[in-house]
Structure 1
Amino acid sequence: MNIANKLTFLRIILVFVFMALIWWIPLSLELALWLALAVFIVASFTDFLDGYLARKLNLVTNLGKFMDPLADKCLVTVAMLALVDVGDLWLHYEWPAWILAIILLREFAVSGMRLIAVTKNIVVSANIWGKAKTIVQMVMIMVCLCPIQSSFMRPLGLFLTYLALVLTIISGVIYIWENKEVFKD
Protein backbone atom coordinates (compact mmCIF):
# COMPACT_ATOMS: atom_id res chain seq x y z
CA MET A 1 0.00 0.00 0.00
CA ASN A 2 1.48 3.34 -1.03
CA ILE A 3 1.68 6.55 1.02
CA ALA A 4 -1.32 8.17 -0.70
CA ASN A 5 -3.55 5.21 0.17
CA LYS A 6 -2.21 5.15 3.72
CA LEU A 7 -3.23 8.80 4.10
CA THR A 8 -6.70 7.94 2.82
CA PHE A 9 -7.02 5.17 5.41
CA LEU A 10 -5.70 7.54 8.08
CA ARG A 11 -8.57 9.89 7.16
CA ILE A 12 -11.06 7.08 7.76
CA ILE A 13 -9.50 6.37 11.16
CA LEU A 14 -9.70 10.08 12.00
CA VAL A 15 -13.44 9.97 11.29
CA PHE A 16 -13.78 7.60 14.25
CA VAL A 17 -11.54 9.80 16.40
CA PHE A 18 -13.77 12.77 15.50
CA MET A 19 -16.85 10.75 16.46
CA ALA A 20 -15.32 9.78 19.79
CA LEU A 21 -14.54 13.39 20.62
CA ILE A 22 -18.03 14.60 19.77
CA TRP A 23 -20.17 11.75 21.12
CA TRP A 24 -18.30 9.23 23.25
CA ILE A 25 -15.58 10.83 25.35
CA PRO A 26 -16.94 12.93 28.22
CA LEU A 27 -15.26 16.29 27.73
CA SER A 28 -16.37 19.85 28.21
CA LEU A 29 -18.13 21.10 25.10
CA GLU A 30 -15.45 23.69 24.36
CA LEU A 31 -12.56 21.20 24.69
CA ALA A 32 -14.41 18.60 22.61
CA LEU A 33 -14.98 21.19 19.88
CA TRP A 34 -11.38 22.35 19.79
CA LEU A 35 -10.10 18.77 19.63
CA ALA A 36 -12.71 17.71 17.04
CA LEU A 37 -11.86 20.79 14.97
CA ALA A 38 -8.16 19.91 15.09
CA VAL A 39 -8.89 16.33 14.03
CA PHE A 40 -11.15 17.56 11.23
CA ILE A 41 -8.46 19.97 9.97
CA VAL A 42 -5.82 17.21 9.96
CA ALA A 43 -8.21 14.82 8.21
CA SER A 44 -9.10 17.48 5.62
CA PHE A 45 -5.42 18.13 4.99
CA THR A 46 -4.86 14.43 4.32
CA ASP A 47 -7.46 14.75 1.54
CA PHE A 48 -5.33 17.37 -0.18
CA LEU A 49 -2.06 15.58 0.58
CA ASP A 50 -3.03 12.10 -0.61
CA GLY A 51 -4.28 13.47 -3.93
CA TYR A 52 -1.18 15.62 -4.38
CA LEU A 53 1.18 12.73 -3.61
CA ALA A 54 -0.73 10.28 -5.79
CA ARG A 55 -0.44 12.60 -8.81
CA LYS A 56 3.08 13.91 -8.09
CA LEU A 57 4.62 10.49 -7.41
CA ASN A 58 2.46 8.62 -9.92
CA LEU A 59 0.82 6.58 -7.15
CA VAL A 60 -2.73 6.63 -8.51
CA THR A 61 -4.36 3.25 -7.87
CA ASN A 62 -7.83 1.78 -8.29
CA LEU A 63 -7.97 1.39 -4.51
CA GLY A 64 -7.22 5.09 -4.11
CA LYS A 65 -9.77 6.08 -6.74
CA PHE A 66 -12.40 4.17 -4.79
CA MET A 67 -11.34 4.92 -1.19
CA ASP A 68 -10.47 8.62 -1.48
CA PRO A 69 -13.99 9.86 -2.32
CA LEU A 70 -15.45 7.38 0.17
CA ALA A 71 -13.19 8.71 2.93
CA ASP A 72 -14.20 12.27 2.03
CA LYS A 73 -17.88 11.39 2.17
CA CYS A 74 -17.45 9.65 5.54
CA LEU A 75 -15.58 12.62 7.02
CA VAL A 76 -17.98 15.29 5.76
CA THR A 77 -21.12 13.28 6.54
CA VAL A 78 -20.10 12.51 10.11
CA ALA A 79 -19.14 16.13 10.72
CA MET A 80 -22.45 17.38 9.33
CA LEU A 81 -24.31 14.82 11.45
CA ALA A 82 -22.51 16.28 14.45
CA LEU A 83 -23.65 19.76 13.42
CA VAL A 84 -27.25 18.55 13.12
CA ASP A 85 -27.08 16.58 16.37
CA VAL A 86 -25.37 18.97 18.75
CA GLY A 87 -24.85 22.12 16.70
CA ASP A 88 -27.51 24.12 18.52
CA LEU A 89 -25.45 23.82 21.72
CA TRP A 90 -22.63 25.91 20.30
CA LEU A 91 -23.97 27.44 17.09
CA HIS A 92 -27.02 28.79 18.92
CA TYR A 93 -29.19 27.74 16.01
CA GLU A 94 -30.21 24.35 14.69
CA TRP A 95 -28.09 23.29 11.75
CA PRO A 96 -30.68 22.35 9.09
CA ALA A 97 -31.07 18.58 8.73
CA TRP A 98 -32.74 19.08 5.34
CA ILE A 99 -29.46 20.47 4.00
CA LEU A 100 -27.68 17.30 5.11
CA ALA A 101 -30.44 15.27 3.41
CA ILE A 102 -29.92 17.08 0.09
CA ILE A 103 -26.16 16.70 0.35
CA LEU A 104 -26.49 12.96 1.08
CA LEU A 105 -28.95 12.46 -1.79
CA ARG A 106 -26.47 14.11 -4.17
CA GLU A 107 -23.66 11.93 -2.87
CA PHE A 108 -25.71 8.76 -3.28
CA ALA A 109 -26.74 9.77 -6.81
CA VAL A 110 -23.19 10.53 -7.93
CA SER A 111 -21.77 7.43 -6.21
CA GLY A 112 -24.44 5.27 -7.83
CA MET A 113 -23.65 6.77 -11.21
CA ARG A 114 -19.96 6.01 -10.65
CA LEU A 115 -20.78 2.38 -9.80
CA ILE A 116 -22.79 2.02 -13.01
CA ALA A 117 -19.94 3.69 -14.94
CA VAL A 118 -17.43 1.18 -13.60
CA THR A 119 -19.49 -1.69 -14.99
CA LYS A 120 -19.31 -0.01 -18.41
CA ASN A 121 -15.58 0.79 -18.15
CA ILE A 122 -16.33 4.51 -18.05
CA VAL A 123 -14.20 6.69 -15.79
CA VAL A 124 -16.08 9.48 -14.02
CA SER A 125 -13.40 11.90 -12.97
CA ALA A 126 -13.71 14.62 -10.40
CA ASN A 127 -14.26 18.06 -11.86
CA ILE A 128 -13.72 21.59 -10.58
CA TRP A 129 -17.31 21.84 -9.31
CA GLY A 130 -16.98 18.71 -7.20
CA LYS A 131 -13.66 19.88 -5.82
CA ALA A 132 -15.08 23.33 -5.03
CA LYS A 133 -18.04 21.67 -3.30
CA THR A 134 -15.73 19.57 -1.14
CA ILE A 135 -13.52 22.53 -0.20
CA VAL A 136 -16.48 24.73 0.72
CA GLN A 137 -18.08 21.92 2.72
CA MET A 138 -14.86 21.36 4.66
CA VAL A 139 -14.31 25.07 5.34
CA MET A 140 -17.98 25.42 6.36
CA ILE A 141 -17.62 22.56 8.81
CA MET A 142 -14.46 24.09 10.27
CA VAL A 143 -16.20 27.44 10.78
CA CYS A 144 -19.30 25.81 12.27
CA LEU A 145 -17.22 23.63 14.61
CA CYS A 146 -15.06 26.50 15.81
CA PRO A 147 -16.04 27.32 19.41
CA ILE A 148 -15.04 30.97 19.12
CA GLN A 149 -18.07 33.05 20.03
CA SER A 150 -18.25 36.18 17.91
CA SER A 151 -20.85 38.04 15.92
CA PHE A 152 -18.89 37.18 12.76
CA MET A 153 -18.76 33.37 13.05
CA ARG A 154 -22.48 32.61 12.98
CA PRO A 155 -23.27 34.59 9.78
CA LEU A 156 -20.12 33.19 8.15
CA GLY A 157 -21.17 29.66 9.08
CA LEU A 158 -24.67 30.21 7.68
CA PHE A 159 -23.31 31.74 4.46
CA LEU A 160 -20.90 28.84 3.95
CA THR A 161 -23.65 26.32 4.73
CA TYR A 162 -25.89 27.68 1.98
CA LEU A 163 -22.95 28.10 -0.42
CA ALA A 164 -22.05 24.45 0.19
CA LEU A 165 -25.66 23.49 -0.52
CA VAL A 166 -25.71 25.43 -3.81
CA LEU A 167 -22.36 23.97 -4.93
CA THR A 168 -23.55 20.49 -3.95
CA ILE A 169 -26.62 20.81 -6.18
CA ILE A 170 -24.73 22.42 -9.08
CA SER A 171 -21.91 19.86 -8.99
CA GLY A 172 -24.38 16.97 -8.81
CA VAL A 173 -26.35 18.21 -11.81
CA ILE A 174 -23.12 18.78 -13.77
CA TYR A 175 -21.75 15.31 -12.92
CA ILE A 176 -24.95 13.64 -14.06
CA TRP A 177 -25.31 15.82 -17.18
CA GLU A 178 -21.67 15.36 -18.27
CA ASN A 179 -21.90 11.61 -17.73
CA LYS A 180 -25.42 10.93 -19.01
CA GLU A 181 -24.02 8.24 -21.35
CA VAL A 182 -23.59 6.11 -18.22
CA PHE A 183 -27.38 5.72 -18.07
CA LYS A 184 -27.78 4.63 -21.70
CA ASP A 185 -28.18 0.92 -22.39
Structure 2
Amino acid sequence: MTGAPASAAGGSGAKPVRGGKLGTAAVNQASLWNIANILTMVRLLLVPGFVMLLFHDGGYDPVWRAFAWAAFAVAMITDLFDGHLARRYNLVTDFGKIADPIADKAIMGAALVSLSVLGDLPWWITGVILFRELGITLMRFWVIRHAVIPASRGGKLKTLAQGTAVGMYVLVMTGPLATLRFWMMMIAVALTVLTGLDYVRQAVVLRRKGLAAERVAALEAVTSAADAEEAGTPGAEAQGTGSPGGVDAGADVSRTRAQARGPAEAER
Protein backbone atom coordinates (compact mmCIF):
# COMPACT_ATOMS: atom_id res chain seq x y z
CA MET A 1 0.00 0.00 0.00
CA THR A 2 2.95 2.42 -0.02
CA GLY A 3 4.15 3.15 -3.29
CA ALA A 4 3.73 2.45 -6.99
CA PRO A 5 1.57 -0.73 -6.99
CA ALA A 6 3.90 -3.61 -6.73
CA SER A 7 1.46 -6.05 -8.23
CA ALA A 8 0.57 -3.81 -11.16
CA ALA A 9 -0.49 -7.19 -12.21
CA GLY A 10 -0.63 -8.40 -15.71
CA GLY A 11 0.74 -11.39 -17.42
CA SER A 12 1.67 -13.24 -20.48
CA GLY A 13 -0.80 -16.07 -20.58
CA ALA A 14 2.11 -18.12 -21.94
CA LYS A 15 3.85 -21.01 -20.26
CA PRO A 16 7.00 -20.02 -18.37
CA VAL A 17 10.31 -21.21 -19.74
CA ARG A 18 12.47 -23.55 -17.73
CA GLY A 19 14.10 -21.81 -14.83
CA GLY A 20 10.86 -20.20 -13.69
CA LYS A 21 11.02 -16.89 -15.57
CA LEU A 22 9.08 -15.74 -18.57
CA GLY A 23 10.84 -14.98 -21.80
CA THR A 24 10.73 -11.54 -23.41
CA ALA A 25 8.16 -12.61 -25.99
CA ALA A 26 5.89 -14.00 -23.28
CA VAL A 27 6.09 -10.84 -21.19
CA ASN A 28 5.15 -8.70 -24.15
CA GLN A 29 1.90 -10.67 -24.58
CA ALA A 30 0.18 -9.23 -21.52
CA SER A 31 -2.85 -11.14 -20.26
CA LEU A 32 -5.41 -10.11 -17.66
CA TRP A 33 -5.69 -13.64 -16.26
CA ASN A 34 -2.37 -14.19 -14.54
CA ILE A 35 -1.54 -15.27 -11.01
CA ALA A 36 -0.73 -11.77 -9.75
CA ASN A 37 -4.05 -10.37 -10.98
CA ILE A 38 -5.95 -13.35 -9.60
CA LEU A 39 -4.44 -12.79 -6.15
CA THR A 40 -5.44 -9.14 -6.34
CA MET A 41 -9.02 -10.11 -7.19
CA VAL A 42 -9.06 -12.63 -4.34
CA ARG A 43 -8.05 -9.83 -1.98
CA LEU A 44 -10.92 -7.69 -3.23
CA LEU A 45 -13.39 -10.54 -2.73
CA LEU A 46 -12.10 -11.10 0.81
CA VAL A 47 -13.17 -7.60 1.88
CA PRO A 48 -16.93 -8.27 2.18
CA GLY A 49 -16.22 -11.75 3.55
CA PHE A 50 -13.99 -10.30 6.25
CA VAL A 51 -16.62 -7.74 7.27
CA MET A 52 -19.37 -10.37 7.50
CA LEU A 53 -17.20 -12.65 9.63
CA LEU A 54 -16.19 -9.80 11.92
CA PHE A 55 -19.78 -8.65 12.56
CA HIS A 56 -21.24 -12.13 12.84
CA ASP A 57 -23.17 -12.70 16.06
CA GLY A 58 -22.83 -9.06 17.10
CA GLY A 59 -19.12 -8.79 16.43
CA TYR A 60 -17.91 -10.05 19.79
CA ASP A 61 -17.76 -13.81 19.32
CA PRO A 62 -14.08 -14.87 19.72
CA VAL A 63 -14.48 -17.77 17.30
CA TRP A 64 -15.97 -15.69 14.47
CA ARG A 65 -13.41 -12.97 15.07
CA ALA A 66 -10.71 -15.59 14.70
CA PHE A 67 -12.23 -16.50 11.33
CA ALA A 68 -12.25 -12.80 10.43
CA TRP A 69 -8.59 -12.57 11.43
CA ALA A 70 -7.81 -15.50 9.13
CA ALA A 71 -9.50 -13.74 6.20
CA PHE A 72 -7.61 -10.53 6.98
CA ALA A 73 -4.31 -12.41 7.21
CA VAL A 74 -4.89 -14.12 3.86
CA ALA A 75 -5.64 -10.74 2.28
CA MET A 76 -2.42 -9.23 3.64
CA ILE A 77 -0.38 -12.25 2.52
CA THR A 78 -1.76 -12.09 -1.02
CA ASP A 79 -0.57 -8.48 -1.12
CA LEU A 80 2.98 -9.70 -0.51
CA PHE A 81 2.78 -12.55 -3.03
CA ASP A 82 1.20 -10.68 -5.93
CA GLY A 83 3.83 -7.99 -5.53
CA HIS A 84 6.63 -10.56 -5.54
CA LEU A 85 5.23 -12.31 -8.59
CA ALA A 86 4.71 -9.04 -10.44
CA ARG A 87 8.31 -7.99 -9.83
CA ARG A 88 9.76 -11.40 -10.66
CA TYR A 89 7.88 -11.98 -13.90
CA ASN A 90 7.24 -8.38 -14.95
CA LEU A 91 3.48 -8.95 -14.99
CA VAL A 92 2.01 -5.53 -15.69
CA THR A 93 -1.50 -4.63 -16.88
CA ASP A 94 -3.64 -1.51 -16.55
CA PHE A 95 -6.09 -3.53 -14.43
CA GLY A 96 -3.37 -4.40 -11.95
CA LYS A 97 -2.18 -0.81 -11.69
CA ILE A 98 -5.69 0.25 -10.65
CA ALA A 99 -6.93 -2.80 -8.74
CA ASP A 100 -3.88 -3.43 -6.55
CA PRO A 101 -3.92 -0.14 -4.57
CA ILE A 102 -7.73 -0.29 -4.40
CA ALA A 103 -7.57 -3.79 -2.90
CA ASP A 104 -4.91 -2.73 -0.38
CA LYS A 105 -6.86 0.27 0.85
CA ALA A 106 -10.20 -1.56 0.76
CA ILE A 107 -9.17 -4.33 3.16
CA MET A 108 -7.36 -1.96 5.52
CA GLY A 109 -10.11 0.65 5.41
CA ALA A 110 -12.81 -1.97 6.00
CA ALA A 111 -10.94 -3.33 9.01
CA LEU A 112 -10.32 0.09 10.57
CA VAL A 113 -13.87 1.36 10.10
CA SER A 114 -15.39 -1.93 11.31
CA LEU A 115 -13.25 -1.98 14.46
CA SER A 116 -14.20 1.63 15.20
CA VAL A 117 -17.89 0.85 14.69
CA LEU A 118 -17.55 -2.01 17.18
CA GLY A 119 -15.90 0.37 19.65
CA ASP A 120 -12.60 -1.52 19.74
CA LEU A 121 -10.52 1.14 17.99
CA PRO A 122 -10.72 4.92 18.57
CA TRP A 123 -12.11 6.81 15.59
CA TRP A 124 -9.20 9.26 15.61
CA ILE A 125 -6.80 6.42 14.76
CA THR A 126 -9.00 5.32 11.88
CA GLY A 127 -9.26 8.93 10.70
CA VAL A 128 -5.50 9.54 10.79
CA ILE A 129 -4.65 6.38 8.84
CA LEU A 130 -7.39 6.79 6.23
CA PHE A 131 -6.63 10.49 5.75
CA ARG A 132 -2.98 9.67 5.17
CA GLU A 133 -3.70 6.88 2.69
CA LEU A 134 -6.20 8.94 0.71
CA GLY A 135 -3.97 12.00 0.78
CA ILE A 136 -0.92 10.13 -0.51
CA THR A 137 -2.98 8.56 -3.29
CA LEU A 138 -4.18 11.98 -4.44
CA MET A 139 -0.66 13.35 -4.17
CA ARG A 140 0.66 10.64 -6.45
CA PHE A 141 -1.80 11.81 -9.10
CA TRP A 142 -0.69 15.40 -8.44
CA VAL A 143 2.92 14.66 -9.40
CA ILE A 144 2.44 11.74 -11.80
CA ARG A 145 2.97 14.03 -14.82
CA HIS A 146 6.46 14.84 -13.54
CA ALA A 147 7.58 11.63 -11.81
CA VAL A 148 6.44 8.57 -9.86
CA ILE A 149 6.97 8.57 -6.10
CA PRO A 150 8.72 5.27 -5.37
CA ALA A 151 7.75 3.03 -2.48
CA SER A 152 10.16 3.53 0.42
CA ARG A 153 11.39 1.18 3.12
CA GLY A 154 9.52 3.31 5.63
CA GLY A 155 6.32 2.83 3.66
CA LYS A 156 6.77 -0.93 3.63
CA LEU A 157 7.50 -0.94 7.36
CA LYS A 158 4.38 1.17 7.90
CA THR A 159 2.27 -1.36 5.99
CA LEU A 160 3.68 -4.22 8.07
CA ALA A 161 3.03 -2.35 11.32
CA GLN A 162 -0.52 -1.47 10.29
CA GLY A 163 -1.31 -5.04 9.26
CA THR A 164 0.10 -6.46 12.49
CA ALA A 165 -1.68 -3.96 14.73
CA VAL A 166 -5.04 -4.23 12.97
CA GLY A 167 -4.80 -8.03 13.00
CA MET A 168 -4.23 -7.95 16.75
CA TYR A 169 -7.30 -5.74 17.20
CA VAL A 170 -9.42 -8.13 15.15
CA LEU A 171 -8.66 -10.90 17.63
CA VAL A 172 -10.18 -10.80 21.10
CA MET A 173 -7.33 -9.93 23.50
CA THR A 174 -7.25 -9.00 27.17
CA GLY A 175 -4.65 -8.19 29.79
CA PRO A 176 -1.01 -7.78 28.67
CA LEU A 177 -1.86 -8.75 25.07
CA ALA A 178 -4.39 -5.92 24.87
CA THR A 179 -1.72 -3.51 26.13
CA LEU A 180 0.77 -4.88 23.60
CA ARG A 181 -1.62 -4.37 20.68
CA PHE A 182 -2.29 -0.80 21.81
CA TRP A 183 1.41 0.08 21.64
CA MET A 184 1.73 -1.77 18.35
CA MET A 185 -1.02 0.44 16.98
CA MET A 186 0.73 3.56 18.31
CA ILE A 187 3.87 2.51 16.41
CA ALA A 188 1.78 2.01 13.27
CA VAL A 189 0.19 5.47 13.66
CA ALA A 190 3.59 7.10 14.19
CA LEU A 191 5.00 5.41 11.06
CA THR A 192 1.87 6.39 9.15
CA VAL A 193 2.34 10.07 9.97
CA LEU A 194 6.12 10.14 9.46
CA THR A 195 6.08 8.34 6.13
CA GLY A 196 3.19 10.53 5.02
CA LEU A 197 5.21 13.67 5.71
CA ASP A 198 8.16 12.17 3.83
CA TYR A 199 5.94 11.47 0.81
CA VAL A 200 4.73 15.09 0.90
CA ARG A 201 8.35 16.29 0.88
CA GLN A 202 9.18 14.00 -2.06
CA ALA A 203 6.12 15.14 -3.98
CA VAL A 204 6.95 18.83 -3.56
CA VAL A 205 10.58 18.30 -4.62
CA LEU A 206 9.63 16.21 -7.65
CA ARG A 207 7.00 18.71 -8.76
CA ARG A 208 9.43 21.62 -8.46
CA LYS A 209 12.05 19.75 -10.49
CA GLY A 210 9.47 18.83 -13.10
CA LEU A 211 8.23 22.39 -13.46
CA ALA A 212 11.80 23.72 -13.65
CA ALA A 213 12.66 21.18 -16.36
CA GLU A 214 9.57 22.25 -18.34
CA ARG A 215 10.56 25.92 -18.11
CA VAL A 216 14.10 25.16 -19.27
CA ALA A 217 12.77 23.10 -22.18
CA ALA A 218 10.42 25.93 -23.19
CA LEU A 219 13.20 28.52 -23.06
CA GLU A 220 15.53 26.29 -25.07
CA ALA A 221 12.78 25.90 -27.65
CA VAL A 222 12.54 29.70 -27.92
CA THR A 223 16.32 29.91 -28.26
CA SER A 224 16.32 27.27 -30.99
CA ALA A 225 13.59 29.13 -32.86
CA ALA A 226 15.60 32.36 -32.63
CA ASP A 227 18.72 30.57 -33.89
CA ALA A 228 16.78 29.10 -36.79
CA GLU A 229 15.35 32.48 -37.69
CA GLU A 230 18.78 34.09 -37.64
CA ALA A 231 20.33 31.25 -39.66
CA GLY A 232 17.58 31.61 -42.25
CA THR A 233 18.50 35.26 -42.95
CA PRO A 234 22.33 35.32 -43.08
CA GLY A 235 22.45 38.47 -45.17
CA ALA A 236 19.96 40.43 -43.14
CA GLU A 237 22.51 42.63 -41.40
CA ALA A 238 24.48 43.23 -44.59
CA GLN A 239 21.38 44.05 -46.55
CA GLY A 240 20.15 46.30 -43.77
CA THR A 241 23.26 48.44 -43.57
CA GLY A 242 21.44 51.31 -45.12
CA SER A 243 18.03 50.12 -44.15
CA PRO A 244 16.66 50.79 -40.68
CA GLY A 245 14.25 47.90 -41.11
CA GLY A 246 17.05 45.39 -41.64
CA VAL A 247 18.98 46.66 -38.63
CA ASP A 248 15.88 46.46 -36.45
CA ALA A 249 15.21 42.86 -37.56
CA GLY A 250 18.73 41.78 -36.63
CA ALA A 251 18.52 43.54 -33.30
CA ASP A 252 15.19 41.85 -32.54
CA VAL A 253 16.65 38.41 -33.19
CA SER A 254 19.68 39.09 -30.99
CA ARG A 255 17.49 40.48 -28.24
CA THR A 256 15.19 37.40 -28.37
CA ARG A 257 18.18 35.08 -28.07
CA ALA A 258 19.60 36.97 -25.09
CA GLN A 259 16.26 37.00 -23.29
CA ALA A 260 15.75 33.28 -23.85
CA ARG A 261 19.25 32.20 -22.87
CA GLY A 262 19.43 34.27 -19.72
CA PRO A 263 16.63 32.49 -17.79
CA ALA A 264 17.65 29.13 -19.26
CA GLU A 265 21.16 29.48 -17.84
CA ALA A 266 19.69 30.60 -14.53
CA GLU A 267 17.53 27.43 -14.35
CA ARG A 268 20.63 25.27 -14.92
Shorter-normalised TM range: 0.7 to 0.9
* Counterpart for residue 103 of structure 1: 129
Structure 2: gaps of 5 or more residues: 1-31, 212-268
Equivalent residue number for residue 180 of structure 1: 204
The answer to whether the 8 Å contact 1:143/1:156 transfers is no
Determine the structure 2 residue equivalent to 1:91. none
Give the one of 71, 86, 93 matched to 1:61.
93
SS in 2 for 1:179: helix
Return the alpha-carbon distance in structure 2 between the equivalents of residues 140 and 112 of structure 1: 25
Q: Aligned to 1:122, what secondary structure does the other structure show?
A: coil
**Which residue is 2:54 aligned to?**
22
- 1:139 is aligned to 164
Q: Distance in 1 between matches of 2:39 and 2:191?
A: 26
For the pair 1:37 / 2:69, whether they are aligned, the reply is yes
Match of 2:138 among 96, 112, 131: 112
Larger Rg: 2
Taking structure 2 as the reference length, the TM-score comes to 0.61
Q: Distance in 1 between matches of 2:71 and 2:124?
A: 26
Q: Secondary structure at the match of 2:118?
A: helix
Do structure 1's residue 126 and structure 2's residue 151 form an aligned pair? Answer: yes
> % of aligned pairs identical?
34
* Counterpart position of 2:179: 155
Equivalent residue of 1:126, what SS? coil
Shift of 1:80: 0.9
Q: 1: distance between equivalents of 2:71 and 2:107?
A: 10
> What secondary structure is seen at the aligned counterpart in 1 of 2:125?
helix
Question: Displacement, 1:132?
Answer: 0.9
Aligned equivalent of 1:81: 113
Do the aligned residues in 1 keep the contact of 2:132 with 2:196 (CA within 8 Å)? Answer: yes
Counterpart in the other structure of 1:47: 79
Change (3 A) 1:56 1:126: same
- Separation in structure 2 between the aligned mates of residue 105 and residue 115 of structure 1, nearest angstrom: 16
Q: Is the 8 A contact 1:7 1:46 kept in 2?
A: yes
Partner of 1:10: 42
Task: Tell me how far apart the structure 2 counterparts of residues 32 and 76 of structure 1 sit (CA, whole Å).
Answer: 19
Distance 1:151 1:35 in 2: 22
CA shift digits 1:97-149 (9 cap, x unpaired):
1111111111121010112233x1522221111111111100001111122x4
* In structure 1, C-alpha distance between the alignment counterparts of 2:119 and 2:63, rounded to whole Å: 15
| 2: CA distance, partners of 1:53 / 1:146 | 30
Higher-RCO chain (CA-CA 8 Å, sequence separation at least 6): 1
Q: Which has the higher helix share?
A: 1
Q: Secondary structure at the match of 1:79?
A: helix
Per mean C-alpha deviation after superposition, the further-off stretch among 107-116 and 28-37 is 28-37
Alpha carbon RMSD of aligned pairs, Å?
1.8
Q: Give the counterpart letter for 2:164 in structure 1.
A: V
Q: Which amino acid aligns with 1:71?
A: A
Q: 1:167 aligns with which of 175, 191, 210?
A: 191
